[in-house]
Amino acid sequence: MPAYKTDETSIGKRLGRLLQQYQLRIAYAKYKASLYEEEAACASSRGMGYKALQATISKKSWETYAQNLTDKKAELEGVLRSCLIGYSDKQKDIWYSYFIDNLSPSEIESKNPNLSQRTIQRVVAAMKRDMELRFEQKLPRIGERPAPNWNAQDLGHFLEEEPDEGYLAALKDALDYGIIDIDALEFDYEFQRYLETGKRPTDGDDED
C-alpha cells in the first residue's frame, strides 16, 4: 500500500481534519441561521411579534457563531501558511494540497503538470520527516502560567457533542503547538461555565 495511505495520524492530516470540522460547523451554523430567518419571516407575517423576535435573535446568534468560526478558521489557515518556514511557494502548495486538502500525489500532479508524481512523493516524504522532529530540551519556566486544568477532551466535548478521535487528536495538536489561544479560553464565559457545570452553550436551546 502506498505510504500516503498510512499516515492518517500525522499532525498535518490532523490539522486538515480540524479545518474540515471548522468548515462543517460553519455550514451548519449558516443553515440554522437560514432556518430562523424563515421562521422569523413566517411569524412576522402571521402577527406573532414575540415569536418573530425570538427567531430573529436566534438567527443573529447563529450568524455570529458562523462568523466567529470563519475568522478562527482563516486565522488557523494563516498560521499554517506562516509556519511553513523554509519551504518554497511550490513546496507550500504541495504541503497544503497533501495534508490539508487530502489530495494524493497523483491528484496533486494533475494540478501541477510541470511536476512528476515521483517528485511530489519525494517532497511529501521529506515533509513528513520534517514533522517528525522532536524537541526534547525543556527550557526553564520564567513567569509562564501553569498548564490549564482542562485538556483537549474537555475542549472537544464543549465544541461538539460527540467528537471523534481524529477531532480530539487534532485539538490536542493545536493546543500543544500553541495554535489555540489558551488564555482566551481561560476567560471565555461559556467554556468556563461548561467546565464547572458540564452545560454546553447549545444545551436547552429552544427550537420552537
Amino acid of residue 187: F
What pLDDT was estimated at residue 82? 84
- Per-block mean pLDDT, blocks of 10 residues, the chain (208 long): 51 85 92 94 92 91 92 89 85 90 90 87 87 58 59 87 85 76 77 85 57
What pLDDT was estimated at residue 9? 56
What pLDDT was estimated at residue 167? 85
How open is the CA angle 198-18-157, to the nearest 5 degrees? 10
What pLDDT was estimated at residue 45? 92
The length of the chain in residues reads 208
Is 137 contained in some domain? no
Is 136 contained in some domain? no
Rounded to a whole number of angstroms, the CA Rg of the chain reads 21
User: Based on the domain organization, do 68 and 15 belong to the same domain?
Assistant: yes
Number of structural domains, the chain? Answer: 3
Enclosing domain of residue 124: 87-131
Is 188 contained in some domain? yes
User: Based on the domain organization, do 110 and 157 belong to the same domain?
Assistant: no
What pLDDT was estimated at residue 135? 53
User: Based on the domain organization, do 56 and 92 belong to the same domain?
Assistant: no
**DSSP secondary structure letter of residue 3:** G
User: Based on the domain organization, do 2 and 44 belong to the same domain?
Assistant: yes
What pLDDT was estimated at residue 28? 93
